[in-house]
Structure 1
Amino acid sequence: MVFLSTTLTEEQIRRAEEFHGHWCPGLAWGLRAAEWALREVGCAGDEDVVTVAETDMCGVDALQVLLSCTAGKGNLLIRNRGKVAFSFYRRGDGVSLRLVARTLPDPAEEETRTLRENPCRTAEQEARLGELRAARARRILELPLEELFERKETTEPVPPVAPMEPSVVCAACGEKVMETHARLRRGRVLCEACFETEMPRK
C-alpha cells in the first residue's frame, strides 16, 4: 500500500486494523487524528497524554493503539456528543489541541447509504459496499491532515489523573462500590443500581 499524505507506517495501520477487527472509514479518521496528535503531544508513556473523544465511533480504537490511551488507565475519556472531534492533552507541560472533522464530500454517499441500510444485501452488493468503504478510507489516508480536521483550542481543562478511591459495601446487594459512586438513601449506603431501583418513580 502507498498513501500519498499520511506519515503513518503500514505497521501502525495494520496494528490498528487488527485491534479494531476490520478496516473502515471510521478507523481511518481515528488514524489521522492520532497522527496529528503524535505530531503535537506524542504518545502516552504512561498517563501523561490524555485523549477526550466526543464520539464512540470506530476511530477511537486507533487512538488507543497509536497513543497508548486507554479507558483502563484513565487517559481515554469518551464524552459522546455525536461529534467526530477529539481533544488531546499532555499533562507534563499543558500542551493541548482539539481536532474537529471537516465535512468530506463523498460522491458515492447516496449509494453507500442505500447499500448500508439494506438488510438483505446480496453477495454482489456486499462486495460493492466493501469497495466503497475501502475507497473512502483510502481517501482519508491520502488527504493532508489540514483538509480533514480543523485544529482548535481545547475548551476544557486537562482531565485529572484517575482517582483511587476506597470502596464501600452496598447495603442492598452486598457488592463493593467505589465510595465516590455510592449513594445515601434513608441512612443506607447503596450502589447506583440499587439506589435507582429503590427510588420511587414519579
Structure 2
Amino acid sequence: MEKSQDAKKKTDSTSGVLSREMIDELKKDPRALFKEAIRKNDAASCLVKTAEIHGHYCPGSTLGVMATLYGLSLLKKETADSDGIMENLLAIIEVNACFADGVQAVSGCTLGNNSLIYRDLGKHAVTFVSRNEKEGVRIRLLPDFKTYIHKEVPEFYPLMDKVIMKRKGTQEEEKLFREKATEAAFAIITYPFEKLFAFERVIPVIPERAPITGTMVCPECGEEVMETKTGKRGLLRNMCFACGGKFQEVNGQGIIERNFRDHGHHTEPE
C-alpha cells in the first residue's frame, strides 16, 4: 500500500505551474502548441514560446522565428510536423547568435536531437530540408531589415550600441534597452516575410544520421565518455579530449580549438 502511494506521489508531482490536464496533453505531443502556432502562422505565440528558452525578447531571435515560419511554409506539411526523433527535418544554421534560438525553438531542430547543423559562416541564414526530399529551402535575411526596426523603434539601435556593443549603459538604460528590444521584436512580426527575407530552392549537402556510439571510461580521469570522442593512437589512445588537452568548442566566436592545459580548465576530481 505504501509503495503505491509513493508511486502516486511521483506521478502527481507538479507545482501547479502547468495544470495536470495540460501536462497530460503535452505528454502526448510536447510540441503541440508550437505545431498549432506554425499551422496558423501565429508568430506572436512562437515568439513568446521562443523567449522561454532564449531568456528575453529581441529582434535577433524574432527574425529566427520568422525565418523558420517562412521556411516551413515552403516545405511539405508533414515535414513541418517532425518531432526530431528520426532526424527527418534538418535545419542548417549559418550563425551562432540570437537568430539560432528562434530557429531551434520553432523548428524543433536542436543540437541535442542532432537535427541542427551549424555551419560557421556568420550569416543570418538557415536552410530547411527533409531527409526524404532532395530539395530544401534556404532563407536569408535581407540587409534592409534594420531600416524597419529603426522606423518602428528608433531608440533601439542607439541603446544597443551603448548597452551591448560598448558595455557602458547604466541600469536605467539597460532596463530601457530590454523594453525597446521587446517593442522591436513584436513590431517585426507584423511585417510580411518577403520584406525581411529572400529564399531559394537548394539541394544541400547533409551529413549522415548521427551514429549510435558506445561509451567507455577514460583511463586518465575515470569519467565516462563517448568512444568517438577519445584519442585514437599513441599515448592519447582511449583518453578523453579533456585529458588529451585539445578539443573544439562552439562559443560566441564560432568554432574554435581550445587547449585545457593552456587555460587551466582541467581540474582534478574531488
TM-score range relative to shorter protein: 0.7 to 0.9
- Structure 2 match to 1:101: 141
Structure-2 separation of matches of 1:111 and 1:71? 32
For the aligned residue pairs, the C-alpha RMSD in angstroms reads 2.8
Write the deviation string for residues 49-100 of structure 1: whole angstroms up to 9, x where unpaired.
1112112222322223322212221101233332211111111223311222
Instruction: Give the corresponding residue for 1:43.
Output: 81
Higher alpha-carbon deviation: 175-184 or 106-115: 106-115
- How many angstroms does 1:181 deviate by? 2.1
Deviations 1:129-165 (A, max 9, x none): 2343234323421222122122134474123211101
Q: Distance in 1 between matches of 2:89 and 2:198?
A: 20
Partners of 1:182 and 1:70 lie apart in 2 by: 24
Counterpart pick for 1:190 among 232, 239, 243: 239
For each residue in 1:87-137, what CA deviation from the matched residue of structure 2 results, as whole angstroms up to 9, or x when unmatched? 1111122331122211123444345313433434142x3344234323432
CA contact under 8 A between 2:92 and 2:127: conserved in structure 1? yes
Matched, 1:151 2:191: no
Q: Secondary structure at the match of 1:190?
A: coil
CA distance in 2, matches of 1:156, 1:9: 27
Q: Label 1:22 to 1:45 Cα distance change in 2 as closer, same or farther (>3 A).
A: same
- What TM-score do the two structures reach when normalised by structure 1? 0.80
Letter in 2 for 1:192: F
Q: Paired residue for 2:109?
A: 69
Q: Deviations 1:7-62 (Å, cap 9, x if unpaired)?
A: 32543332222232221111211110110122123232332111121122223222
Partner of 1:3: none
Query: Percent identity over the alignment?
Result: 26
Kept after mapping to 2: 8 A contact 1:50/1:159: no
Q: 1:102 to 1:165 in 2, by over 3 A?
A: same
Measured in 2, the distance between the counterparts of 1:186 and 1:53 equals 36
Structure 2 unmatched runs, 5+? 1-39, 247-258, 263-270
Among 79, 82, 88, which residue is 2:128 paired with? Answer: 88
Q: Which residue pairs with 1:114 in the alignment?
A: 162
Distance 1:196 1:131 in 2: 43
Q: How does 1:22-37 map to 2 (within 5 A)?
A: 22-37=56-71
> Tell me, which stretches of 5 or more residues in structure 1 are unaligned?
1-5
Greater mean deviation of Cα atoms: 180-189 or 67-76: 180-189
Tell me the secondary structure at the aligned position of residue 114 of structure 2. Answer: coil
> Which residue does 1:167 correspond to in 2?
215
**Partner Cα separation in structure 2 for residue 132 and residue 90 of structure 1:** 37
- Is the 2:91–2:128 Cα contact (8 Å) retained in structure 1? yes
Q: SS at 1:17's partner residue?
A: helix
Structure number with the bigger relative contact order (C-alpha 8 A, sep ≥ 6) is 1
- Name the larger-Rg structure: 2
SS of 2:146's equivalent in the other structure is: coil
Aligned residues: 194
**Contact map agreement 2:43 2:66 (CA 8 A) in 1:** no
| Conserved 8 A contact 2:124-2:140 | yes
Q: TM-score under structure 2 normalisation? A: 0.62
